[in-house]
Amino acid sequence: MSYAPSSFRPLPFEQGPPRFDVGLAPIEPHAWLMPDDQAHWIGPKNQLMDAEPDAVFASITGSMPGQIEAAALVASACGQSFDPGEPPLFAASRLVSDDLVLMEMRDGAWTNTALCLCSPTFFSAHEAIGKSLFGLHRPVPGGDPGLGGRISRVFSLLRDELVLERHNWTVQWRDARYTPDGGPLRAAAAAAGLEEGREALHVRVERQTIRRLPETGAVLFTIRIRLYRLADLLGETALAQAFQQAWYEAGPEVRAYKKWESLERHVAALLGDYARNP
């Protein structure tokens, strides 16, 4: 089997605009969670978990066996142990920068039964809990039933020890990781002057993985967030050209779903600076 490389700086805009497809590729199992290149987030993440546990964690009845298996797998990958006094998925999430989402078959559909979500890209743990893949992907263009159905088939056909990875991207205002609601960021961008964009515009990359849990048959979905200041990326000619092409090639359905309206003038100004001073 050939494995996709797991780069420490994956920039998916190099492959074009955001795409609403499955896009999963196998990676080496040892590259699943370690090394954790975003480990600097673990400390602030734990502080957030201590301060707002009910906001970042949710579970439904019957998820405990899957949580226990998922937590054991994460702890083993990290070479650590988790606190047995906390919900297992919550405790395991303390060990890695990644958010952890447990998916299990319920009433014939893959359903979110537990999750710890500390770096959400504009949705909350309580919006996701109990939803099927179809419900989770309903807001995505073509997501329900199309994309949801394709991902469901992937989940159902997963083999033990196989780890699949994909990357997604967007642009956001400022560098916050805990963003359950994108409204305040969009409002800040709408009110900001163009001179603020150089510091505030960031590319947000989601690194997502899935793997099957052999004992329970559940699927563990992980999300690792990486943030890059857009102005820094535009300082590299090849990246600047790739981003500019991907940004302007993104269609209206992509722009609407990503809610880029408040960012358009800021990105255009920054790209204009790049064009004048490549």
The total number of structural domains that make up the chain: 1
pLDDT exceeds cutoff 90 at 22: no
- Let me know if residue 203 belongs to a domain: yes
- Let me know if residue 8 belongs to a domain: no
For 60-81, how does the pLDDT look when each residue is reduced to its tens digit (9 = 90+)? 999 999 999 999 999 999 999 9
- Let me know if residue 169 belongs to a domain: yes
Q: What pLDDT was estimated at residue 264? A: 97
8 pLDDT tier (thresholds 50, 70, 90): low
Residue 218 to residues 45, 65, 91, 142, 203: CA-CA distances in angstroms? Answer: 25, 9, 18, 25, 32
Beta strand ranges found along 81-162 (DSSP E)? 99-106, 109-116
- Let me know if residue 115 belongs to a domain: yes
Mean pLDDT confidence for 19-42: 92
- Let me know if residue 4 belongs to a domain: no
- Let me know if residue 16 belongs to a domain: no
pLDDT cut 90: percent of the chain above it:
84
pLDDT exceeds cutoff 60 at 5: no
Q: What pLDDT was estimated at residue 152? A: 87
pLDDT exceeds cutoff 60 at 143: no
- Let me know if residue 12 belongs to a domain: no
Q: What pLDDT was estimated at residue 104? A: 97
Q: Is the pTM of this model over 0.85?
A: yes
- Segments forming the whole domain that contains residue 214: 21-276
- Let me know if residue 3 belongs to a domain: no
